Amino acid sequence: MNYRHAYHAGNFADVAKHIALVAILEYLKRKEKGFVVIDTHAGRGMYDLLGAEATKTSEALAGIEKIRHLQEPLPEGLATYLDLVRAAGASKYPGSPLIAARLLRPQDRLVAIEKHPEEAAALSKELAPAPRAQVLIADGYSRLLTLLPPYERRGVILVDPPFEAADEFQVLAGTVIAALRKFATGVYMVWYPIKSAARAASFCGELLSAGATSLLRLEISREEPGQGMRAAGLLVINPPFGFSEQMVSIGDKLKQPLAARLGIQWLAGGP
């Protein structure tokens, strides 16, 4: 477990994932009934963009720092996301559990799972003021399956592993398929890096053949060469109605400042 998200926080792929998370949570909040957010690989919550790790890679410079000051008019999900990031402070970047915690209502709750003890301890401190948030120090894959189906019967499950292990795609696919069997109506956001287009495509195929009937693929790719990852994907199972259209507008807004293309494709279902 060498991966530390502090090296990558706020990069172009992180930004796209977090904007999608915000947009999905905003859609879920249109209904009064409460929901759960389960973040299986939660990280430490808040990242210091002037810290040693972030300054070593400078990945945020080609990510959040290119869009931090975008002005209205902005699509709703993007505007809310930028408000949240700016509220964290100029040199800070909030990760997925903090973003979720800030958007939850009293009837909603967050379960954040993190295996690394130091990251989990930092996250517990960050989430201490959030009464409806719980941090579990555990393996995100196996622990997720014990939490499904949630009593609310409404929920977002973010699966955002570090992709350190050689069999991560395999374990990820197996876990999501098992989770779908227990909670078929959940909204699942499954992040993956695209180092090999063929491997990413076969992963998407596996989830499709597992019977997901509403499956949207977002893939963000940098147009300019640079160090580090060039492209990443997010599979969204059971996306809320209207989400794909909103992400099209958001992709148009981000294209120029991020120098990145957001490809959006229905693999199953759709309007």
- List interacting residues with ligand SAM (CB under 6 A): 1, 3, 5, 39, 41-43, 95-96, 113-116, 119, 139-141, 160-162
Active site residues: 160
Query: What residue number has its CB nearest to ligand SAM?
Result: 95
Nearer to ligand SAM, 59 or 119 (CB): 119
Cα distance between residue 110 and residue 104, in whole Å: 8
Closest contact distance (angstroms) between CB of 119 and ligand SAM is: 5
Closest contact distance (angstroms) between CB of 266 and ligand SAM is: 24
Closest CA to 18 of 34, 39, 36: 39
Closest CA to 268 of 198, 188, 191: 188
Reply yes or no: is the peptide bond before residue 149 cis, omega within 30 of 0: yes
C-alpha separations of 62 from 59, 69, 139, 152, 260 in Å: 6, 13, 31, 39, 10
Closest contact distance (angstroms) between CB of 196 and ligand SAM is: 19
Closest contact distance (angstroms) between CB of 42 and ligand SAM is: 6
Nearer to ligand SAM, 165 or 242 (CB): 165
Residues contacting 99, CB < 8 A, separation 6+: 18, 21, 22, 81, 84
Reading the block at residue 17, the tokens are: 């994932």
